[in-house]
Structures are given as C-alpha cells and as structure tokens.
Amino acid sequence: MKRIAWDQFFMAQSHLISSRSTCTRLMVGATIVRDKRIIAGGYNGSIAGGDHCAEHGCLVVEGHCIRTIHAEMNAILQCAKFGASTDKAEMYVTHFPCVACCKSIIQAGIKTVCYAEDYKNHPYAIELFEQAGVELKKIPFDSHIFRGEEINKAEILNEIKQAAIDEKIPEEYAEKLYLNMTNRLS
Ligand SMILES: [Zn+2]
Ligand SMILES: [Zn+2]
C-alpha cells in the first residue's frame, strides 16, 4: 500500500478545513504543522457566534469582505488561544496569503509556507517573506487522494491507444476519448 506523502496529507487537511468556510467569496483553509504534527487549523469565517456571509451576504468594503477573519489568521489565533508555539512551524494553506496574513505569519515565527494555488500573489508579500527568510513552496493539491485513487494519465492514454489499435479505431478518435475521460477524472 502506497501511503500519501506528508505534503499532500497536510494540504488535504487544509482543503478539508476550507470546506467549513462561511464566506462565499473564497473558501480558504490553513493548517499549522510542527514536527509533522498538526497543531492548529483555520478557515476564513466570521468571529465565533457572529453573522455568517453565507446567510447575510459578504460585508464588502473597498473590494474586500471585512466580516471574515482569514484562515491563516484563525489558525495562528487558535495557537494563541490554546497556547501552542508557532515558532519555526510550517503552514499549509489553500491559497497564497494576503499581505496582512503574510505579516502575521512572519511575526508568528512560521518558517515555511506551502500553498496550493496562486491568489493575487502580492509582490509586497513575496518581498516580505523573502526578507524574513520564510520559504515559499507551491504544492498543487491532488484531490484524487480524497477518493483513494491515484490517477496516472499517461497510463490511461496508453491503455486507450492500445485498445484503439486492437479495435482498429482511428488514433485521433482515441485521443478525443482520452481527453474526454481525463477531463471527467480531474
Ligand atoms: Zn464574506
Ligand atoms: Zn489573509
């Protein structure tokens, strides 16, 4: 049995957490990890007990929803609340952090930020991370691991091509079939 790699495991955790987000504009999840252990997680949402964007609509001021606390911040604040050190920790987050979260991440002593998707990657955030010696790693998330499958597209293509030869189906038709199938699989 092939076990899931750590990076994908923690990234999967952040994606799972993001499903709890109450802001409809963007669902973000963050996980803080120390020594391969998850110490905190957060999603973007309103303060505990507050109105949710999902029910009341976003509270947009100057292009940003100000109702929510960002996932990265929520994860850091969970550590503050329950007393877990974030020094030299790693963060796994679904989207590239904004400038405000970037500063909090640096100040909390987090040393590595792994993100799955680019999101308005602000040049100032990139500059600050660099200045602070925070390592940035883009780790695209492979959602197939949630279904316990490992999809090898090249293998599928070869199988279809071979089947096409066996069945005397024209190769372009086989290519089309392959594209159709892989689109459905992704
Ligand atoms: Zn919102
Ligand atoms: Zn943020």
Nearest 5°: CA angle at 78, between 58 and 42? 45
Q: What is the DSSP letter of 63?
A: T
Residue 48 CA, ligand 2 centroid: distance in Å: 18
Nearest to 51, CA basis, from 23, 75, 25, 28? 23
Q: What is the DSSP letter of 19?
A: T
* Prediction pTM value: 0.78
| Residues acting as catalytic residues | 72
Residue 136 CA, ligand 1 centroid: distance in Å: 27
Residue segments in the chain with a per-residue pLDDT below the cut of 50: none
Nearest 5°: CA angle at 143, between 151 and 40? 140
Whole-number pLDDT of residue 112:
98
Residue 19 CA, ligand 1 centroid: distance in Å: 14
Strand segments, DSSP code E, in 20-138 are 29-34, 37-43, 60-61, 64-65, 90-95, 112-117, 135-138
Whole-number pLDDT of residue 136:
98
Whole-number pLDDT of residue 162:
73
Half-sphere exposure of 61 (CA within 13 A, CB side): 4
CA dihedral 94, 100, 105, 108 (to 10 degrees): -150
Whether 138 and 112 have beta carbons less than 8 Å apart is answered as: no
Residue 73 CA, ligand 2 centroid: distance in Å: 7
Whole-number pLDDT of residue 68:
93
Task: Determine phi and psi for 173, rounding to 5 degrees.
Answer: -65, -40
Long-range contacts of 161-170 (CB under 8 A, 24+ apart): none
Query: Nearest ligand to the C-alpha of residue 99?
Result: 2
Task: Please enumerate in sequence order all residues whose Cβ is within 8 A of that of 106, keeping only pairs 6 or more positions apart, or say none.
Answer: 128, 129, 132, 134
Task: Determine phi and psi for 64, rounding to 5 degrees.
Answer: -125, 145
Query: Nearest ligand to the C-alpha of residue 67?
Result: 1
Whole-number pLDDT of residue 99:
97
Whole-number pLDDT of residue 70:
96
Residue 160 CA, ligand 2 centroid: distance in Å: 44
Whether 72 and 100 have beta carbons less than 8 Å apart is answered as: no
Query: Nearest ligand to the C-alpha of residue 60?
Result: 1
Whole-number pLDDT of residue 170:
72
